[in-house]
């Protein structure tokens, strides 16, 4: 399937934010969660990735009628790296290359394996992404067999789950699925009705709409206690969590038009768009390795921060490209039958 330039640009932008967050969390473990930057960047970054994933899933499912095989391929690219990375992270932490909550000294390998694969320790995003894609396959099958009349009630039911107090406990990260799946479904619906949307919304109208929604985003960010953490609003315990989660969901929805508008604008700048789109095409590997190489900078203050971010990205890119061209091309050929 032909790559989408704007989508790759957005992936590249999101990856740079993600890598920056990984570095800052390790450099400032006690202060980072109180930075305004943290509350702004984490309010939408991962959510945007799910919207993009849902958008691409719809277009991909149309081209591959064998949905079970499609899902098997997604498991190979998402679940397998999730497991291998989390298990490998335990041993990497013993080398001193990375700091990951002192897991090598506080956990046995068995404890870490169970916690990182089945609970909420270690890398979590790839597993959530796979579960959301698996649920989209079910939605797509229902859409194909039963028709579009089922899409609206399904969407309403999914959105209502946001208002239900989130699943208590971390097993299989179900509480994350509860939040992120509606965003993946949103991306699926945007792709499904893209032609209808284009008919009624011009670039100028979309720009005005993006500015209005940016104001909504700022309001939602303020109401969620952006300068004091997500739990700073004095709601009662019964309504506190659903309100906070709803505000976080509204933040992703309201910033989404502006993010896509920025991506579209960058696509008109060849040098920047080429760099970001190229980075967006190798997102998976860079995302994983940037979690390991966080304290690799030099100097003090801002020099340490900037050098750590740049070196983390550089090292992650080199390792990703090396594995991609020397290892995974051969593995893909024998496992999936693709070059």
Taking phi over 0 as left and psi of -120 to 50 as alpha, with beta for the rest, 301 belongs to: left
Name the pLDDT band for 21 (thresholds 50, 70, 90). confident
Cα–Cα distance for residue pair 252/48, rounded to 1 Å: 7
pLDDT at 335: 52
Name the pLDDT band for 239 (thresholds 50, 70, 90). very low
**Is the pLDDT assigned to residue 64 strictly greater than 80?**
yes
Domain residue extents for the chain: 5-205+270-335
| DSSP conformation class of 64 | -
Mean pLDDT of 232-254: 66
**Is the pLDDT assigned to residue 67 strictly greater than 70?**
yes
**Is the pLDDT assigned to residue 167 strictly greater than 70?**
no
Name the pLDDT band for 102 (thresholds 50, 70, 90). low
pLDDT at 210: 93
Pair 110, 159: CB distance under 8 Å: no
Say how many C-beta atoms besides its own lie within 10 A of residue 334's C-beta: 8
Cα–Cα distance for residue pair 47/305, rounded to 1 Å: 25
Cα–Cα distance for residue pair 123/132, rounded to 1 Å: 16
Residues near 276 by beta carbon (within 8 Å), at least 6 away in sequence: 8, 9, 12, 13, 266
The mean pLDDT value of the chain amounts to 82
pLDDT at 135: 92
**Is the pLDDT assigned to residue 178 strictly greater than 90?**
no
pLDDT at 227: 47
Cα–Cα distance for residue pair 225/244, rounded to 1 Å: 9
**Is the pLDDT assigned to residue 115 strictly greater than 60?**
yes
pLDDT at 232: 43
Name the pLDDT band for 196 (thresholds 50, 70, 90). confident
Helix crossing, 270-280 with 5-27: angle to 10°? Answer: 70
Distances (CA, A) of 52 to 85, 93, 141, 188, 190: 23, 32, 20, 8, 10
Q: Which pLDDT tens digit goes with each residue over 257-284? A: 999 999 989 999 999 899 999 998 888 8
């Amino acid at each position: 399937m032909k790559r989408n330039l704007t989508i790759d640009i957005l992936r590249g932008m999101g990856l740079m934010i993600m890598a920056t967050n990984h570095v800052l969390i390790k450099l400032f473990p006690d202060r980072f969660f109180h930075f305004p930057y943290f509350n702004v960047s984490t309010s939408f970054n991962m959510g945007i990735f799910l919207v993009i994933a849902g958008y691409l899933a719809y277009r991909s499912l149309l081209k591959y009628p064998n949905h079970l095989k499609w899902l098997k391929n997604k498991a190979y690219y998402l679940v397998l790296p999730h497991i291998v990375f989390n298990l490998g992270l335990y041993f990497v932490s013993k080398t001193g290359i990375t700091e990951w909550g002192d897991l090598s000294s506080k956990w046995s390998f068995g404890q870490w394996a169970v916690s990182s694969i089945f609970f909420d320790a270690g890398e979590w995003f790839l597993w959530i992404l796979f579960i959301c894609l698996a649920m989209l396959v079910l939605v797509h099958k229902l859409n194909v067999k039963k028709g579009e009349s089922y899409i609206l009630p399904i969407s309403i039911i999914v959105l209502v789950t946001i208002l239900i107090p989130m699943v208590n406990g971390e097993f299989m990260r179900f509480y994350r699925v509860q939040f992120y799946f509606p965003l993946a479904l949103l991306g699926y619906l945007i792709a499904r009705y893209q032609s209808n949307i284009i008919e009624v919304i011009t670039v100028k109208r979309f720009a005005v709409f993006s500015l209005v929604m940016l104001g909504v985003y700022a309001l939602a960010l303020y109401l969620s206690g952006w300068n004091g953490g997500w739990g700073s609003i004095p709601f009662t315990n019964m309504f506190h969590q659903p309100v906070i989660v709803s505000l976080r969901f509204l933040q992703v929805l309201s910033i989404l038009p502006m993010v896509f508008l920025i991506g579209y604008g960058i696509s008109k700048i060849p040098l920047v768009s080429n760099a970001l789109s190229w980075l967006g095409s190798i997102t998976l590997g860079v995302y994983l390795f940037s979690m390991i190489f966080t304290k690799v900078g030099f100097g003090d203050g801002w020099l340490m921060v900037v050098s750590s971010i740049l070196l983390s990205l550089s090292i992650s890119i080199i390792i990703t490209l090396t594995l991609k061209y020397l290892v995974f091309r051969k593995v893909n050929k024998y496992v999936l039958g693709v070059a």
